[in-house]
Chain A
């Protein structure tokens, strides 16, 4: 854990030092000695600091959401992006744009509501109870539903070209140009989700023993699941609202966390806290430098790196039953 936290601090510092522009590590470090370099000052404080902070929050939100989803669906492949959550958020945003909102004034709550509805739809399609025996079914239902929402989104964009222009950001997530205001706007919902996750950690761990055992310990499996789904929607909706859909982070982070923490969901959740930001920030730093002076959208990079991980996970070993 100490190593992970050290790594996170290191990556955050690198995130402040490196960018697509001309202000490199030397000029940033020069700021420590004298604050005369206004260009470097602006880029570090106004551009790189917000996106680093947002990257940390997005990483935590996606990592924790992934761990929750995998726990309640008992499916190591469950991922917010695969479960219609991101597709639901993007769909809701597209709908709002077509109905006349502009990307600048869009309410964060629209994306969160879309995420919640998307998630509920997939879970009900996959039959909420008893999916534990068939991890593939949930992924299939999620893929099918995401595809359906994706085509509906495309349909609306064909109908309304203006929205098509503004939606591009919502189809591929990115941390560039996001403002701290956006982050502040989602903090309340993140706080609610955080409190709920803390309360639910013990019942979730009980649920891992099986429904009967959990009931026997005085918990309500269905209630636990619904609260967890609510948390996932809040977390992913918030992340999607500020950064757009970012694929595979919710899959990879809990997977790595389990490698450190073992099967106990309570320990896994703790480990997601540093690992999520580590993954997101590393990907974001790479996305800044590979095509400078432009930037690659973060969502493209995580999809490029995440897809092989998913395939490797499925192929390499028998999936652990959660």
Chain B
């Protein structure tokens, strides 16, 4: 911790020198272009009409930008990975964003090097970082949303406003809604529904994921009865590790098993070494679905929603 604050301090000194030049440039641009005002967590932010060089410092912001048709010049890695989340890859057309840090540790110099004219950050961005970043370019931080399955929509709309592509974001959101009703009807027809649990397997047992995540929200919307066995405290993304003796609480018709490894199969293999796991009904019926935790437990946004719905469709309607 000491080291990181020392590093931030040093970086601040270096950056503030460079900033003199940077703020001059962005100041000039802002006065030339027609400006709009956004309501963000740190007050009103002026954004130029047509941002060209966008840096996203949050997975949900990268997702929304791509959904709106903007490929950022810089982005952060997904949680638990050393690049952007795999589901995002399909949406790059040739050019890729430079990596400018991880969500909790943004490399401000790398952000500056991209000479952005718009920065889209997470609601959790700390104020000191915001102050620094907003000297590089207008920085848009959404109001903190409660942990809820559709919190991503309000965030995506704000990012859409910032990018001046509100219509595209609305289209992306309604495409998700449309897909949900289609899939819900198909699952209903195939009679493939039932109860479902989303869990992450740890060496000692599973962590049950909250019903308030985007992934569990989508499971519920397509007609599954999502359960957390009352184990997840409100506002928490997941439960403590469940004792193996209580494993029957994650039993049901479907078990979605997430891991931060790229390969969801690894979690399933680890889980299968536990006798307490293999005796669950859901395992015996072969209704355990290994899913990518990058997507299912950390991603956010309209493209993530579509990718999750893809997974659901592949699992329930083979």
Restricting to B70-99, which residues have a CB under 8 Å from any CB of A? 79-82
Partner of A295, one of B79, B231, B241, B260: B241
Q: Is the CB of B204 within 8 A of A174?
A: yes
In the complex, B274 has a CB within 8 A of chain A? yes
Q: Is the CB of A294 within 8 A of B244?
A: no
At the interface, is chain B mostly helix, strand, loop or mixed?
mixed
Q: Which residues of B have CB within 8 Å of A43? A: 245
Given A42-B279, A176-B205: A21 and B240 within 8 A (CB)? no
Partner of B261, one of A39, A162, A179: A162
CB distance from A74 to the nearest CB of B (A): 35
In the complex, A104 has a CB within 8 A of chain B? yes
Q: Is the CB of A176 within 8 A of B244?
A: yes
Q: Is the CB of B245 within 8 A of A177?
A: no
Q: Is the CB of A295 within 8 A of B202?
A: no
Q: Is the CB of A293 within 8 A of B202?
A: no
Give the interface segment out of A57-65, A164-172, A262-270.
A164-172
Partner of A47, one of B231, B261, B269, B276: B276
In the complex, A297 has a CB within 8 A of chain B? yes
Q: Is the CB of A177 within 8 A of B81?
A: no
> Whole-angstrom distance between the alpha carbons of A187 and B231 in the complex?
37
CB distance from B273 to the nearest CB of A (A): 6
> Whole-angstrom distance between the alpha carbons of A281 and B295 in the complex?
40
Q: Please, which residue of chain B has its CB at the minimum distance from the CB of A161?
A: B80
Partner of B246, one of A104, A179, A293: A293
Q: Which residues of B have CB within 8 Å of A134? A: none
In the complex, B106 has a CB within 8 A of chain A? no
> Whole-angstrom distance between the alpha carbons of A48 and B231 in the complex?
22
Q: Is the CB of A293 within 8 A of B273?
A: no
Q: Is the CB of B244 within 8 A of A177?
A: yes
Q: Which residues of B have CB within 8 Å of A21? A: 243, 245-246
In the complex, B239 has a CB within 8 A of chain A? yes
> Whole-angstrom distance between the alpha carbons of A149 and B211 in the complex?
39
Restricting to A273-301, which residues have a CB under 8 Å from any CB of B? 288, 291-295, 297
Q: Please, which residue of chain B has its CB at the minimum distance from the CB of A288?
A: B243
> Whole-angstrom distance between the alpha carbons of A71 and B244 in the complex?
39
CB distance from B88 to the nearest CB of A (A): 17
Q: Which residues of B have CB within 8 Å of A48? A: 245
| Number of chain B interface residues as a range | 20 to 34
In the complex, B6 has a CB within 8 A of chain A? no
> Whole-angstrom distance between the alpha carbons of A161 and B241 in the complex?
19
Q: Is the CB of A294 within 8 A of B240?
A: yes
Q: Is the CB of A295 within 8 A of B270?
A: no
Q: Please, which residue of chain A has its CB at the minimum distance from the CB of B207?
A: A294
Q: Which residues of A have CB within 8 Å of B82? A: 161
> Whole-angstrom distance between the alpha carbons of A162 and B77 in the complex?
13
Q: Is the CB of A103 within 8 A of B80?
A: no
Q: Is the CB of A177 within 8 A of B266?
A: no
Partner of A177, one of B204, B239, B240: B204
Q: Please, which residue of chain B has its CB at the minimum distance from the CB of A177?
A: B204
Q: Is the CB of B243 within 8 A of A104?
A: no
Q: Please, which residue of chain B has its CB at the minimum distance from the CB of A172?
A: B204
Given A162-B260, A165-B80, A176-B243: A293 and B274 within 8 A (CB)? no
Restricting to A150-193, which residues have a CB under 8 Å from any CB of B? 161-162, 164-166, 168-169, 174, 176-177, 179
Q: Is the CB of B270 within 8 A of A102?
A: yes
Q: Is the CB of B204 within 8 A of A297?
A: yes
**14 more CB-based (< 8 A) A-B contacts, given A103-B203, A176-B244:** A21-B246, A42-B275, A42-B276, A47-B244, A47-B245, A48-B245, A161-B80, A161-B81, A162-B80, A179-B275, A293-B243, A293-B246, A294-B242, A295-B241
Task: List chain B positions with a Cβ less than 8 A from chain A.
Answer: 79-82, 202-205, 231, 239-246, 248-249, 259-261, 266, 269-270, 273-276, 279
